[in-house]
Chains A and B, each alone.
Chain A
Amino acid sequence: MKFEMPESLKKTPQHYCPGCGHGIIHRILSEVIDELNIREKIIAVAPVGCAVFGYLYWDFDTCEAPHGRPPSVATAIKRTNPNKVVFTYQGDGDLAAIGGNEMLHTANRGENITIFFVNNVCYGMTGGQMAPTTMPNQVTTTTTQGRTEEDGYPMKVCELLSNIDYVHYLERVAVNSPANTLKAKAAIKKAMENQLNGKGFSLVEILAMCPTAWYQTPVESLQMIEDTISKAFPLGVFKDS
């Protein structure tokens, strides 16, 4: 078997830090798009966050949304272009903090779009501040003594959205091991297929490493997902109706 670059990925070096989860997720997402043969139908929405440069790496039509607003931008693109395949790719700050309201209401309308939610339990792009998903006691640049109760508790997006009737599919996966990454790819594929089949709102939450902001080596950060993060954020399907 020949190991090739997916057609949906540009042959350009990416800016992500060593050990970052974004590169892996870009890769499996691009593979799925190739496998489903939908590259020419994609209109993607990049967030504000580390993945803002998604459009430099993905080889399909992509726009950038203001911080937190990709679900609204995607809603509008899909409603006016129902034959296109529309997804957003958002971090935890983008989706769960500043964009919490857009996330909730897009889910509540059951929009036929797909959200890839990259949960790296921090704000990567701005230098490692606390996110709504940050672990208890986790040290960030705005919780230098560790996250306390006063700073809130890790926000569980899949659990939260699972109470919304119109949500079709919710799954939490991780990319910290080959086995998990294969499962992540399957979930991404299913979420895309849901849209192609008109099933409505699908969101895949992907636990991803951020060694830089976690003050860890890449290997330690893989283990951190295994030992800590996936305990607070259990993997699995939260809704599939």
Chain B
Amino acid sequence: MKKEIIITGYGGQGIMQAGNILIKAAILEDKVTTFFPSYGAEMRGGAANCKVIISDEFIGSPIVYKPDYVLCFSRLAFEKFRKSLKPDGLMFLNSDLVKIENNIDVLVLEANTLSEKFGSKIMANMAMLGLFIARVKLLKQASMEEAIKESFKHKGEKIVNLNIEVFRAGLDCV
């Protein structure tokens, strides 16, 4: 099993953080994983993406051209990555940010709205991770939550718990 994922949107949306949580969870399950970010002038609002590969075997190139899954947080990225998706690939879209015609085969979630219910839209990335994991079951809920905990522990228990709650809310949306 080798799955290639692109998470894409703008700086400030937690793109890199979402990718980091995936690879942390993958490691907890003893999987092989790579993470490759877009980098450079990392501006808030500038286009940003990261490429995550999760596999059972050695991973060659960490660069992803034809993803199995795309988690998308912007219109620009939606147009760009829709075409590169594998034939049986899946696109996950934050539909608060990108409005599309309903005939396109994507999984949508109003992730900002969902996150706001817990106090702020900044946890929309957690909601999208929840939706993604619920749908593809690539990683276990427990390892994802452990990875979220690990990622936010420096911000205190309250923040950890909030992020886990949003993640769970995302899980329930499938």
Q: Do chains A and B touch in the complex (CB under 8 A)?
A: no
Binding site for B on A (CB under 8 A): none
**Which of B's residues lie within 8 Å of A, judged by CB?**
none
